[in-house]
Structure 1
């Protein structure tokens, strides 16, 4: 088995860290997604044109926002592609637009990708 494949498998760590302050409770997390491994856990085809990360942000007042960031664009200044209505609404509300390359395959079913993002924040 190639070393990169072993390394990529080891990267599949899901993180979700709640804040301690209840008045402004905030949860975020992410999980790495890779086309090679997607089919093992999902029934729908891989929906992205590249590998990357599905992330979530939860604010009690706004709901769970789910985004996709391609590898190479996962940093604090990146604004991922919104995958659900809460994420799209949040970007619109804040006057922001995604600044990562558009990486959703045309006609892709995003239901499982959104489910992955929601599970990350609810774990």
Structure 2
């Protein structure tokens, strides 16, 4: 019985140990956004039809920094967010992937500030990684 516990503990320790992950290699991060507070923090109108979500950023070695929107409750790795910049569109096309989150952009939405927010998230993550 004690050998079984040691084996389970060893596997748990190995599984939980820090190592190099894809996030460490490519950089990523997110910031939560919502319709209620957007106007207090940003100058453009809230561009998403879902009232809450995350703007996420990932660095793609081929295309640069990719910015996506994920609605609340659709943020885990099984969901592909909606691309907000050209790098994200190019990355999805290369991988033959299609966003699978249920939401739309508001008609004539200005995405410039949302993209800048995502790029800032990437910058902050890269700075944090560089200073670790």
Match of residue 108 from structure 2? 107
Deviates more, 1:52-61 or 1:107-116: 52-61
Q: Secondary structure at the match of 1:67?
A: strand
Q: Is residue 38–residue 46 contact of structure 1 (8 Å, CA) maintained in 2? A: yes
**For the residues of structure 1 that align with 2:116 and 2:39, how far apart are their CA atoms?**
15
**For the residues of structure 2 that align with 1:61 and 1:99, how far apart are their CA atoms?**
23
Q: Is residue 52–residue 70 contact of structure 1 (8 Å, CA) maintained in 2? A: yes
Match of residue 89 from structure 1? 90
Q: Is residue 60–residue 91 contact of structure 2 (8 Å, CA) maintained in 1? A: no
**For the residues of structure 2 that align with 1:80 and 1:71, how far apart are their CA atoms?**
11
Match of residue 121 from structure 1? 122
Q: How far apart are 1:102 and its partner, in Å?
A: 2.8
Match of residue 70 from structure 2? 69
Q: Is residue 70–residue 103 contact of structure 1 (8 Å, CA) maintained in 2? A: no
Gaps of 5+ in 2: 1-22, 125-132
TM-score by length of 2: 0.73
Match of residue 12 from structure 2? none
Which residues of 2 match residues 1-123 of structure 1 at below 5 A? Answer: 19=24, 25-50=25-50, 51-123=52-124
Gaps of 5+ in 1: 1-17, 20-24
Higher share of residues assigned helix? 2
Q: Is residue 47–residue 104 contact of structure 1 (8 Å, CA) maintained in 2? A: yes
Q: Is residue 66–residue 83 contact of structure 1 (8 Å, CA) maintained in 2? A: yes
Bigger Rg, structure 1 or 2: 2
Q: CA RMSD in A?
A: 1.5
